[in-house]
């Protein structure tokens, strides 16, 4: 069953005094109504994202090995204590970058419980959402870093593959299996359908974007490419192989 990778996310713990309640004792309902709302979690998430953004930029500019924790702290305008609390170390930062990028791809595909229609328009909508997410600058940046540093950082390449491509393919495989059993698609292997669909909608757009050979694709260009790929895909899987 596909539940996604079991990732542990670091959270920031906040006590009542950080929200302005220190020394106030019991707060009545009338007093509580007057207390301005505070959003410590939002502040913690903002600091976390600032460090992830700084680390992404520095890993691309200097490489993982040559980027120091001081570099990341200075660029993010954060603190070492926050970095250690949120990520543990530099490897933890890299793993968190991968987790965030992969989670956005899962959201583009949808949850395993989703049961979309397999009409041309529905598959185009799914494909466009996936391609736009995969071609986003942050997603491309993380992929470049993993490719460059995978042989130096233990297990990061395998972690990326297990957290992203493998989960996405499993979710699509399950959807295509359901559609095939319902007669919406042909009877070919759903695993193959998922591989072919992903390869078709990405085409060479992803390779070009990763290599920096093409500017960011516009929405119209992506939709035209995905629609052509979906039509070919449906025509192919509509005829079961002997």
What pLDDT is attached to residue 9? Answer: 36
Q: Which residue has the higher pLDDT, 38 or 81?
A: 81
pLDDT at 65 over 70: yes
**Domain tally for the chain?**
1
| Within a domain: 2 | no
Residues in the chain: 242
pTM to 2 decimal places: 0.71
Cα–Cα distances in angstroms (integers) from residue 209 to residues 128, 140, 143, in the given order: 16, 7, 11
Asked whether the predicted pLDDT for residue 22 surpasses 50, the reply is no
Nearest to 174 by CA among 154, 193, 160, 147: 193
Residues spanned by the domain of 70: 16-237
Averaged pLDDT, 133-148: 91
Question: What is the reported pLDDT for 146?
Answer: 92
- The pLDDT of residue 241 is 43
Does a structural domain hold residue 56?
A: yes
pLDDT of 32 reads: 37
Mean pLDDT over 23-31 rounds to 36
Q: Which long-range contacts (CB under 8 A, 24 or more apart) does 143-151 make?
A: 143/101, 143/210, 144/60, 144/210, 145/56, 145/59, 145/60, 145/64, 145/94, 145/97, 146/98, 148/63, 148/64, 149/59, 149/63, 149/64, 149/65, 149/94
The answer as to whether 43 is a domain residue is yes
242 within domain boundaries: no
* Average confidence score pLDDT of the chain: 78
- Taking only the tens place, the pLDDT of each residue in 163-191 is 888 989 998 898 888 888 877 777 778 89
Q: Is residue 209 part of a domain?
A: yes
Residues 6+ apart with CB under 8 A from 94: 55, 59, 64, 145, 149, 153, 156
Whether 53 shows a pLDDT value over 80: the answer reads yes
Which CATH number fits the domain that encloses residue 24? Answer: 1.10.357.10
């Amino acid at each position: 069953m596909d539940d996604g990778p079991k990732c542990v996310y670091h959270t920031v713990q906040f006590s009542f005094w950080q929200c302005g309640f220190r020394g106030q004792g019991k707060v009545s309902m009338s007093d509580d109504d007057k207390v301005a709302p505070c959003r410590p979690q939002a502040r913690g998430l903002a600091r976390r994202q600032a460090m992830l953004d700084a680390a992404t930029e520095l890993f691309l500019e200097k490489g993982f090995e040559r980027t120091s924790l001081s570099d990341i702290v200075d660029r993010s305008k954060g603190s070492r204590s926050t970095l250690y609390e949120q990520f543990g170390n530099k490897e933890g930062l890299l793993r968190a970058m991968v987790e965030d990028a992969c989670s956005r791809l899962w959201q583009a595909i949808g949850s395993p419980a989703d049961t979309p229609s397999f009409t041309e328009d529905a598959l185009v909508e799914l494909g466009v959402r996936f391609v736009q997410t995969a071609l986003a600058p942050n997603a491309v940046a993380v992929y470049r870093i993993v490719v460059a540093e995978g042989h130096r950082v233990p297990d990061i390449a395998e972690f990326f593959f297990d957290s992203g491509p493998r989960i996405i393919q499993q979710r699509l495989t399950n959807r295509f299996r359901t559609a095939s059993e319902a007669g919406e698609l042909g009877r070919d292997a759903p695993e193959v359908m998922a591989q072919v669909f992903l390869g078709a909608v990405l085409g060479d757009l992803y390779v070009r974007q990763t290599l920096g050979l093409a500017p960011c694709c516009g929405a119209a260009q992506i939709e035209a490419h995905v629609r052509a790929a979906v039509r070919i895909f449906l025509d192919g899987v509509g005829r079961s192989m002997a």
